Amino acid sequence: MKIPAFGLGTYRLKGQTAIDSVRTGLELGYRHIDTAQIYGNEAEVGQAIADSGVARDTLFLTTKIWTENLSRERLIPSLRDSLAKLRTDRVDLTLIHWPSPGGAVPVAESLQALAEAQDAGLTGAIGVSNFNIALLREAFDAVGAPRIATNQVELHPYLQNRILAAFAREHGLHLTSYMTLAYGKVLADPVLSEIAARHDATVAQVALAWAMQQGHAVIPSSTRRENLAGNLRAQNLRLSEDDMARIAALDRGERLVDPEGLAPKWD
């Protein structure tokens, strides 16, 4: 299954804010929506989709299984609960959100349960998030590399994750970039600003286009209609080889998401 290159993230969006963001995104033409059990907004995402009038079959919907639900006994029931909240009989992609803390639940157990959910028609595709290379190898061993649709990881101009990206390319594994704007830090970058001015674009569009040009999917979020609309136009921006090289030079290994007790040993 091909994952749409551009989507709408819902991290940190709660209640009516989540409903409004998704509803506005759908009005503007977003058709890939990314949520997760731990976000606490699956019901709001489901409501926004239901109220939008947009046909479910035209949408690509992603959710993620939280760590407390990674065991064989809990994974599928938790996914069914997510489906009920999302008001759908299946999602298009389900990810393991973070590896089990301390390896309490083996990667193979979680991935095999997720594969069972896929076989049962509860999810169109399966994948992982925040996996390092060692964990990816375990996932490949568990269900086969072709079955892993993506690894969703922090990736932005200041953290380009080159070792992991090279491994992914070598094994034909797709990456989804989250935090592509680095919590907004890249928006003031002088190099990105100069590139944006030359293309008559926004800095956000440049950062998003940079990730997509490398073959990654992006899932930026926003609560403002103008930003949602502007981000969407990143799909029409084509950066030059020189632009890409200048952005490549911005990498400084600045990781912004590294929760103690959850994060693996990064590559």
Residue segments in the chain with a per-residue pLDDT below the cut of 50 = none
Residue 85 lies in a domain: yes
Active site residue 183: no
Percent helix, strand and coil across the chain, each rounded to 5?
50, 15, 35
Looking at the 3D structure of the chain, how many domains does it have?
1
Residue 259 lies in a domain: no
pLDDT of residue 1: 73
In a domain, 247, yes or no: no
β-bridge partners, 151: 128, 175
Query: Is the residue at 49 inside a domain?
Result: yes
The answer to the question of residue 262 being in a domain is: no
Q: Which of 39, 158, 178, 183 is labelled catalytic?
A: 39
Domain range for residue 139? 8-184+214-223
Residue 168 lies in a domain: yes
Does residue 229 form part of some domain? no
Residue reference for tokens 């009516």:
16
Q: What's the angle, vertex CA 160, arms to CA 225 and CA 261, rounded to 5?
A: 90
**What's the CATH code of the domain at 153?**
3.20.20.100
96 inside domain:
yes
Q: Give the residue carrying structure tokens 């020189």.
A: 242
